[in-house]
Every structure is written in C-alpha cells, then in structure tokens.
Amino acid sequence: MLQDNQAKGTSAGLSDGWTEPRATALLVLQDGTVLEGFGIGAIGEATGEVCFNTAMTGYQEILTDPSYAGQIITFTFPHIGNVGTNDEDVESVNAAAASGVRGAILSAAITDPSSWRASRHLDAWLKARGIVGLTGIDTRALTVLIRDKGMPNAVIAHDPNGAFDVEALKTRAAALPSMDGQDLVPMVTSSQRYGWDEITWKRGEGFAKQDAPQHHVVAIDYGVKRNILRLLARAGCKVTVVPANASAEEVLALKPDGVFLSNGPGDPAATGEYAVPVIRKVLEEKIPTFGICLGHQMLGLAVGGTTKKMHQGHHGANHPVKDKTTGKVEITSMNHGFAVDPESLPATAVETHVSLFDGSNCGISLTDRPAFSVQYHPEASPGPQDSHYLFDRFVKLIEENKAKARA
C-alpha cells in the first residue's frame, strides 16, 4: 500500500483476531514517504533513483541492463517472475555490471516459474546478484507519483525481521545526490579489450557464431548489452569491444571499418568529459559511427549539442517513434533519463527520429560525417524488433565508405 507512514516493526492487531503481517521491506523516498512491503531478493539496504518500466515481458533483460546502474526499477506490469530466470537472458557482459541495478519493486508476489527455459526462481536469482526487492505495494500509485513529481531518490531496505530505523532511512534518502553530474559508466564498462562473435539466439540451436565477418567494428563500451553485440555480429561484423576510457589512439590503432558507441548509465555530460574527445577524433577520421542510447547522447555532445535531465524518463517496450527519413512509425524499447536537446544541435546534425509520446529527440544523422545515432534500443531486448534495420543501415554506411575509399 502506498502511504506516508512509519514501519514500527510490530504487527497491527485487528478486531477479528487476525494479525496483519509485518512489513519486511520498505521503500523510503527522499521526501519522507515510506512504502511498506514484503522483502524479496537480497537482505540489506540499497539506494538509487526510482523509475518505472512499462514492459510486460523481459524483466530479466531489464534487470541486467547496465543502463539501469544507480536506479531502482518499479515494474508496472503486476506479474513479474512468473517465467523464472535463466542463463541466456542476461544482458550485462561483465560481472561488474551485475551490481548496476540497485533494487526491484513488484506489485504481486512472485509465483513459481512456468517456462521450459527457467533454471532458477526470480527470488533466488535476485539474492545471487545482490539485488534488494520488495513486493506488495500499489505500483500504479507509485508510477503516478513519479509521473507527477519526477523520479525520486530512495532507500530500499529488506529485513526478514521487519526491524527498521525509519528515521535513519529517511535521513539517508534525503541526503542522496541527484543523478545530474554522475558518471556511472566506470561501474559497468569492461576493464579490458575483448572480441565478440556470438550472434542471436534460435530455438533448438542456442547462440551461433559469426565465422565469416566482412567488416571490423570497434564498440566503445559505456555499458553495452549483449544483444547489441549479437546483432552487430549477425550483420556481418567482427566486433572488438574496448573500455569506455580507451583513447582515440587505441581505437584508431585497431583500424576499424566502423565505430559503435554503446548504451550506458548516468549523466551523459559527465561521461562526455572523457568520451567526447575520443568521438570527435573518430569523426575527424570520417569513420562510420553508430550510437545507441548513451552513445546517441555522446554523439550529440561531440557535435556541440547539449543534454538535459528528463522529468520521468522513458522506460518500456511500447514507445512509438517516427523515422523522419522514411515516414514510418516503429514501436521501440527505451531506457533513458536524459535526452539530447534538439535546439542545441548544429545544422550538420539532422533530427531523424522523434518520440510520438512527447516529441523528444530520438535520433540524429550528420550531414558532414558518416555517423548517426538513436536514443532508443533497436536491439529489442526486451521489446519489439521493428528497429533491427538500423544495424543493416550501419553496415550499409560502412560498405559505402569502403567503396568511396576504393574509388
């Protein structure tokens, strides 16, 4: 139940003799609001910015998306966990990214998994990954609160005994810093360079390998998702992943046919302090460049644009976006709390995609360099596959660039 109260750690006796279950988890918002629920996942406390995600499927991919680092996710769909978890739907590449998501908020209790692919109950999976969660609150009311007031900072706490120092939790929540100015990429990026050749999953076959790549793409890892790398490989690319702090010289030394700028968490302006100079050098060399999510914001910053914090962000798998180059509307998967300000972009950066929810910028293409980017997640994990064509568009850009070099 969503209410402004304090959990005393004691049961409330009712007149008919029935005893109300003791709350074993709390969500304490920065304004002092306390939400009582029942704990799942790891025992302990965690802090983060509370957002809501409207996707009806793909909760495991959402919980392992490195772009959610520093956030507590509220699932608006009530039945989360009913298909369990498995080892194949994890989106984070490295172990460090496992600590990105701070917490999970569910409406209904987790049921036993019902899927032939399930290998572990969601509760056990959350415990293993150190993610604190709670169930039993009105997630619709919390979503309305976020919609009206913006994404609040909060402390999420789980104690099986229901013993909470509520005043201390309130003080801690009130003191949490804003997401503005936070560079969270170091939490989730890889620590060293590695190659990637795995392509997308097929039933009965699993993940195959790319054994005949035609192009070499260097992916700068700001918190990259596995399915992005799989789709790059499926499109015919040999993929080399480099850490977010790789220098321009290190990237160029790999002689890439194309450079990919990945998704990631935090304030793009903070990450841009070290990422933008690298991207500008890549653009100067006129190497085909493709960015997704934080990578889109990095490209916008690299050409002189600015980014801004969004009121509630975009998180879900049902966001309509118009491709202004074709006139088509695609349903997309999104996860971002910052956006590129289209008014700040130079004339050489043309807006290619726009959100049909709020008109925010969702894509740009450069007229003087072979580069483009989108704010949403065309790899569709989770989400619809309307936007897979963008990976083919990137490869076409690489092929055109190669043909121009041969001419």
Catalytic residue among 215, 296, 314, 377: 377
Task: Answer for the pair 260, 229: CB distance below 8 angstroms, yes or no.
Answer: no
Nearest-CA neighbor of 39 among 125, 124, 134? Answer: 134
Distance of CA 292 to the CA centre of its chain: 11
Catalytic residue among 51, 237, 293, 362: 293
Q: For 9, what's the count of Cα atoms within 13 Å in the CB-facing half-sphere?
A: 11
Task: Answer for the pair 100, 48: CB distance below 8 angstroms, yes or no.
Answer: no
Catalytic residue among 61, 91, 330, 379: 379
Per DSSP, which regions of 123-248 are E strands?
A: 132-135, 153-158, 194-196, 198-202, 206-209, 215-221, 237-243
Write the DSSP string, 14-81. -TTSPBPPPP-EEEEETTS-EEEEEEEESSEEEEEEEEEE--SS-HHHHHT-GGGTTEEEEESSS--S
Q: At what angle do helices 226-234 and 389-406 cross, to 10 degrees?
A: 50
Whether 293 sits among the annotated catalytic residues: the reply is yes
Write the DSSP string, 156-177. EEE-TT----HHHHHHHHHTPP
Whether 379 sits among the annotated catalytic residues: the reply is yes
Could you give the residue ranges of the DSSP H alpha helices within 208-261? 226-234, 248-253
| Cα distance between residue 155 and residue 29, in whole Å | 7
Nearest-CA neighbor of 106 among 80, 85, 128? Answer: 80
| Active site amino acids | 293, 377, 379
